[in-house]
């Protein structure tokens, strides 16, 4: 069974569930026990300064809290990008250049070693073989992540832009209207 940590799950047009319709999920961990990730393109209307004022200006624009998924929405999870080792005590590398940031740390001590970060309310999770089943039924495309996916200043365009950079049929899907019945 292949594991996809560090890659993106891009919702297919067949995935109509409102929680995941046209979402892009960065998989932070994936093994035989399951998978966890964060939805990259669901900014909330809540300014980050309202919940984490010390971190508000440290995140990539827009300076909002993002909905990372339906699991543990009452908790905040920060994902950062570090091309080096990252901050020693406050950055736990998960996959590639992505890692979790300790939000209890002093922002100034963390930021110097990061390219950028994003804060999420909750995360997306899958149990044993659940994600594999969803991929096989056609709910998700698996594509490579690039650093700008996490840090994009235009998260509302992420689904289309990721599909557009793929070869063949996936690039064509990027032009699909939100509601095909209106076409």
pLDDT for 52 equals 95
- Average pLDDT of the chain is 90
**Domains in the chain, CATH or no CATH each:** 7-182 (3.40.1740.10)
pLDDT for 179 equals 65
Integer Cα distance of 20 and 22 in angstroms? 6
pLDDT in tens, 6-63: 999 999 998 988 899 999 999 999 999 999 999 999 999 999 999 999 999 889 999 9
- What is the 3-class SS of 55-85, one letter each residue? HCCCCCCCCEEEECCCEEEEEEEEEEECCCC
pLDDT for 3 equals 87
On the question of pLDDT at 183 being above 60, the answer is no
Query: Tokens representing 172?
Result: 């064509």
CA–CA–CA angle 126, 132, 137 (5° rounding):
110
Does the model's pTM come out above 0.85? Answer: yes
The span from the first CA to the last CA of the chain, in angstroms, equals: 39
Confidence of residue 2 (pLDDT cuts 50, 70, 90): confident
């Amino acid at each position: 069974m292949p594991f996809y940590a560090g890659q993106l799950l891009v919702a297919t047009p067949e995935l109509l569930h409102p929680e995941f319709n046209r979402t892009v999920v960065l998989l932070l961990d994936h093994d035989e026990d399951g998978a966890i990730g964060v939805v990259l393109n669901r900014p909330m209307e809540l300014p980050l300064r309202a919940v984490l004022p010390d971190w508000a200006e440290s995140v990539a624009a827009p300076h909002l809290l993002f909905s990372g998924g339906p699991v543990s929405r009452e908790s905040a999870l920060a994902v950062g990008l570090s091309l080096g080792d990252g901050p020693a005590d406050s950055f736990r590398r998960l996959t590639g250049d992505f890692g979790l940031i300790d939000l209890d740390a002093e922002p100034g001590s963390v930021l110097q070693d990061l390219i950028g970060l994003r804060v999420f309310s909750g995360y997306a999770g899958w149990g044993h073989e659940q994600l594999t089943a969803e991929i096989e039924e056609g709910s998700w495309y698996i594509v490579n992540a690039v650093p700008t996916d996490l840090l994009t200043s235009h998260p509302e365009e992420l689904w289309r832009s990721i599909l557009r950079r793929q070869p063949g049929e996936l690039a064509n899907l990027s032009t699909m209207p939100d509601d095909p019945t209106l076409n």
